[in-house]
A and B are shown apart, each in its own frame.
Chain A
Amino acid sequence: MTTSVVDRSVPPPPGALRPFQFPPIERFELASGLPVVFSKTDGLPVVTFSLLLPAGALREDWRHAGLATLTGSLLESGTRRSDAAEIARKLETLGVRVNVGTSWEVSHVDFTVVPERAEAAAQIVSELVTESTFPEDEVERIRNEQLAAILQRRAEPRGLANEMAARFIFASDSPFSRPLAGTVSTVSALGRGDAADFHKRAFTPQSSTLVVAGNVPLDAARKSAGSAFGAWTGGDPVQAKGGVAPRQDGVHLVLVERPGAVQSEIRIGHVGVPRNVPDYFPILVMNTILGGAFSSRLNMNLREKHGFTYGVRSSFVMRRMPGPFIVSTAVQTEVTGSAVSEILGELRRMRDTPVAAAELTDARQYVAGTFPLRLQTTDGVASRLAELVIYGLPDSYLDEFAERVLAVDEAEVLEAAQRRLHPDGVTILVVGDPAKVRPQLDALDLGPVEVVAASVNE
C-alpha cells in the first residue's frame, strides 16, 4: 500500500449520522395481572428478565431497617420444592446467575440467559419469588452475611464515607439517612418471621412489573413470562413510608476518624432533587459540566491541574423522593483542605457565571451521545425500561432523550445551578487521619468541625 498525505492539524469532520432508535416497546398483561414490558433487541442471542417488585427498603418498617435487603438475599435459600443447593445447581446448569438487588424503591430479580433456556430459567426464578420458604438456618446464615458486610463496609473508607455522608446530609428521621441494608442493631434483630411476613406483603403481582429485553420474538417472551408468572397471586403491597428533609441548614463539617490514612475520602453534598423534577435535562447537562464526565470542571481542576486525586465526580442521585447531590473524591491527606476549597469554588462558579458556549455544546453532545452506548446489552435496555416503570416516565422519554438534552440552553444551565446547587448549605464530610486533617479543616474557617469515630452509633 502507498502512504497518502494526511492533514493531521485539525480533527476530521463527522461522517453521515447513523441515527439510533430505541427498540419498540410492547406491553401486555399476564393472566395473573402482572404487566410485562418487552423490547426486542437486534444483538446477540441473549435475553434479560428483570422482575421489579414493590419490595424496596422504603416499604420496610423503621425498626426493621435492612429487612428488604435480607428478604431479597434469601430468595435463593429454599422453596417448597428445592433447597438452596438444588436451586444453585439448577440455575447454574442453565448457565444462569440470578441477581437480586434491593433499592429504596424496588427489589429487582434479574437474570440473562440464552433464548432456548429462557423459559426453564424463568420458571425457576418464579419458584424463588413465589414459593420461598425462608428456612431458619438459612435466615441465620444470610443475616450473618449481611452483618459481616456492614463490618466490611465500615472498614473500607469509600463505603464508610458514603454511609456517613448520607447520615449527615439527611434528617435522622428521613429514611435516606440510614444505610439501605440496615445497621448492626436492626439487622441483628431480624428473624425468619420478619422475612416471611415482608415477603408475603411485598412480593405480589400487584404493583410488580416484569421487564423483558432480548433478541427473542414477542411470542417467545410472552410464553416464558406466562408459564412462569401467569398464575402468581397476591394482595395489595405494603405502602412506602417516610419523607425527606435535610439534617440542618448552613455548612456542616464532619471529620470521621481513620488514624493513619494516607488519603482523605471527601464527600460534599446536600439534599438534591427527585427523579421527576421539571428541570431534569438542564440538571443533567449542568452536572456533566460540573463533575459528570472526565472533562468536567471538577476533574480538570482537582486531577489535571492540581494532581490532588485520581478522580472526582459529582452526581444527583435521583429517586422518587429527593436523593443526595454529592461530590465524591479521594485526595492525598496533605491537600484535604485545598481540595475542599477548590470543590466549593467550582460549585460557586457554576452558580455565578454562565457556562461557555463550547462547554455547553460538549456536555450536551456527551450526554446525548453516550446514551445509546449503554443500550448495547440486553441488560442495558432492560435498565432503561425499568426506569420508565419505576419513575412513571412516558415511553416517549427514550425516543426524545437526545432531542431534549440537545435543546438545553445556557440560561437553563445557569438557572439549574442556582436552584439546585447550595454551596452555603453543604455537608462537608471527610474520612481521614484526624491529626493531619483537622487543622486543615479548621483553617477553612467554615465553622466548627464535628469529629466522629468510625464506629459511632454503629
Chain B
Amino acid sequence: MRFPIERYELDNGLRVVLSEDHSQPVVAVNLWYNVGSRNERNGRTGFAHLFEHMMFQGSENVADTQHIAHIERVGGSMNGSTWLDRTNYFETVPANRLELALWLESDRMGFLLPAMTQEKLDNQRDVVKNERRWRVDNQPYGDWDERIQAMTYPPDHPYHHSVIGSMEDLDAATLDDVRAFFSTYYAPNNAVLTLCGDFERETALEMIERYFGGIPRGPEPPALPGKVVVPRGLGGQVVETVESDVGLARVYVAFRIPPYGSDGFYAADVATHVLTAGKSSRLYTTLVREQQVAQSVVGFAFPIVTGASIAVFWATANPQVSLERVEEALWSELDRLRLDDCSEEEVSRVVVGIEARQLISLQQVGERADQMSMFTMLFDDPEGINDELDRYRGVDAAAVREFAAECLMAENAAVLRYLPRSRGEEAA
C-alpha cells in the first residue's frame, strides 16, 4: 500500500507536500522548520523550545491567546513540538476549515515579530520553566535523557545538551534573541508544509500560494554550531550514578549508532527491537520473565540525523534485586547478540511488528502528515513514508550481528544508574 504524494515548491522556497484522503472529513496541516535544539548556541540551551511557545502567542493579525482558540473553536486539535533536529507545528481540523489553518500558520511564519512583547516572553519563560520542573526536575528519572545526551556526545556536539535546556539559559533569553532566532530560522525556505486528508489539490494549492506565496525567502541558515562528526565509539566507558527520589533502581545503557536514514540505523533499530520489543524479546524473556531481576525493560533508537544517533536500553530493577545483577544480565544479552547470529525468525517477527505498528499509527492523517514533512525535511524525499518499510525488510540476521559487534560494546557505553536515595539523607 502506498499513500499518494504530490510535491511542489513555491518561489520563496517553501516545500509543499500534498496527500489526499477523502475517507474522513478532516485535514491535517503540518509544518516542519529545520531548526531544533541542535542549532542553539552556548548560553541559550532550551531556546528553540521557548521560541516554539512564542509561536502560539499571536502574530500581526492574530491576537494574544487566539491562535489556539481559533483552532479549538472550530473543533480542531493542534500542538507544536521541539526536538533535537527540528520544530514542528500541526493541527487537524474539519475539512472545511483548511483555510483557517493556513491563515494561522502563514501569519506566524511571516508576521510574528510585530506581536512579540516582553510580557509574553516573561510569561512563556515561566510556563517553560514549569514544564521543565514537571518533566524533569520533579519526576523520577526525569533527567535521564539530559544526562545520557551529555554523556554520549562531546561538549562541542550539537546534541550534547537537552531540548528543554537549563534554567539559567532560559532566564537569560531576551526579546532580541526571539527576533534574531525568527529572522534566522523561520522562513519559507527553511520549512516544509504538508497537507494530508480531505481537500482538493487545486483549491489547496491556490490557498497555499495566496497565504504563503508573499512571505519573502529568508537568508540561508548558518551551519550547525560545534563539531558534528564524532567517532562511532565513545572511546571508553562513561559512568554516572545518581541518588534521587526514585522508587526502584534503574540503569540506562546508551551507545552511539549510525544516524537515522543510513543502512546501519535500520540494522540498529531491528537489533533494538530484537532485544526489547514485546514479550518475546530477548531482554524481556531473560531479565523479566526468566531471571526476574527486572520489573521492565525498554529500548529504542533515536531517529536523529546529526553525526551519530543513540540506541538506549534501560532496565528497572525489581525490589530487593541489586542493580549489579540487572546490569550483568543485560550485558550478557548484549554480548550474545554481538557474538552469535540471531535467527532470521526473530528478525522477521520484529519487522512484522514494525509494519503493523506503522500501519496502525498512520491511520491518523496528522501522523501521516508529520512523517511526510519529516522525510522531506531530513531526506528531501516525501516518498520515504512509502519506502521506509523496505529498508527494514532489507535487514537480515548478519546485519544485526555486524551492527552489534561494531556498536554494542561495554567500552563504548554510557552507563547511567539511578539509585533510591537512602532514607537517612531525607530532608527533615
Contacts and interface: CB of A to CB of B under 8 A. Distances in A.
A400 interface: no
Nearest to A259: B427
Interface in A352-407: 361-362, 365-373, 375-379
B333 interface: no
A141 B10 CA distance: 59
Interface string B409-428: 00000000000100000111
Nearest to A86: B280
Given A1-B209, A309-B127, A365 B285 contact: no
Contacts of A451: none
B363 interface: yes
A8 B363 contact: no
B98 interface: yes
Interface residues of A, number: 90
Given A300-B65, A309-B127, A376-B365, A97 B72 contact: no
A310 B134 contact: yes
Given A14-B74, A89-B349, A262-B133, A112 B360 contact: yes
Interface stretch (B226-234, B263-271, B350-358, B370-378): B350-358
Give the residue among A16, A88, A91, A261 with the most B Cβ atoms within 10 A.
Answer: A88
Interface in A122-159: 141, 144-145, 147-149, 151-157
Nearest to B94: A369
A1 B208 CA distance: 11
A20 B24 contact: yes
A222 B95 CA distance: 34
Contacts of A145: 295-296
A259 B428 contact: yes
A206 to B, nearest CB: 30
Interface stretch (A40-48, A53-61, A225-233, A419-427): A40-48
Interface string A147-179: 111011111110000000000000000000000
B100 A148 contact: no
Interface stretch (B240-248, B301-309, B390-398): B240-248
A370 B75 contact: yes
Interface in A419-452: 435
Give the residue among A2, A10, A15, A45 with the most B Cβ atoms within 10 A.
Answer: A15
A245 interface: no
A85 B245 contact: no
B319 A151 contact: yes
Interface string A295-327: 100001001111111100000000000000000
B248 A152 contact: yes
Interface in A260-300: 260-263, 293-295, 300
A214 to B, nearest CB: 10
Contacts of A76: 279
A24 interface: no
B138 A361 contact: no
A140 to B, nearest CB: 9
Contacts of B149: none
Contacts of A4: 209-210, 213-214
A94 B138 CA distance: 40
Contacts of A367: 75
Contacts of A15: 95-99
B166 interface: no
A44 B357 CA distance: 12
B1 A147 contact: no
B129 interface: yes
A366 B72 contact: yes
B97 A263 contact: no
Contact of B26 (A151, A310, A372): A372
A10 B68 CA distance: 15
B61 interface: yes
Contact of B279 (A88, A112, A295): A88
Size bracket, chain B contacts? 35 or more
Contact of B138 (A13, A16, A114, A330): A330
A372 B76 CA distance: 10
Interface in A169-219: none
Give the residue among B72, B74, B92, B318 with the most A Cβ atoms within 10 A.
Answer: B72
A332 B130 contact: yes
Nearest to A95: B356
Contacts of B279: 76, 84, 87-88, 92
Give the residue among A114, A156, A376 with the most B Cβ atoms within 10 A.
Answer: A376
Given A144-B292, A369-B94, A151 B426 contact: no
A293 B79 CA distance: 12
B328 interface: no
B363 A295 contact: no
Given A8-B111, A18-B25, A295-B68, A85 B289 contact: yes
Interface string B116-141: 00000011111111110110011110
A348 to B, nearest CB: 22
Given A89-B280, A144-B292, A366 B75 contact: yes
Interface string A92-112: 111111000000000000001
A361 B11 CA distance: 40
B96 A11 contact: no
A148 B211 CA distance: 54
B103 interface: yes
Contacts of B60: 8
A435 B94 CA distance: 50
Contact of B100 (A14, A87, A144): A14
Contacts of B131: 310
Contacts of A97: 278, 353
Interface string A6-39: 1011111111111110000000000000000000
28 contacts: A3-B213, A8-B60, A9-B61, A11-B103, A14-B96, A17-B94, A20-B25, A43-B24, A44-B363, A76-B279, A91-B280, A93-B352, A95-B356, A144-B318, A148-B319, A153-B247, A155-B245, A155-B247, A294-B72, A310-B131, A330-B130, A332-B133, A362-B72, A366-B73, A369-B75, A371-B75, A372-B26, A435-B427
Given A14-B96, A295-B69, 19 more contacts: A8-B103, A8-B111, A15-B96, A18-B95, A88-B278, A88-B284, A95-B356, A96-B356, A295-B68, A307-B127, A309-B130, A330-B134, A332-B133, A370-B77, A372-B94, A377-B360, A377-B363, A378-B363, A435-B427
Interface of B: 1, 10-11, 23-26, 60-61, 65, 68-70, 72-77, 92, 94-100, 103, 106-107, 111, 122-131, 133-134, 137-140, 198, 209-211, 213-214, 245-248, 277-280, 284-285, 289, 292, 295-296, 316, 318-319, 349, 352-353, 355-357, 359-360, 362-365, 420, 426-428
4 nearest A-B residue pairs (beta carbon): A369-B75, A307-B126, A95-B356, A155-B247
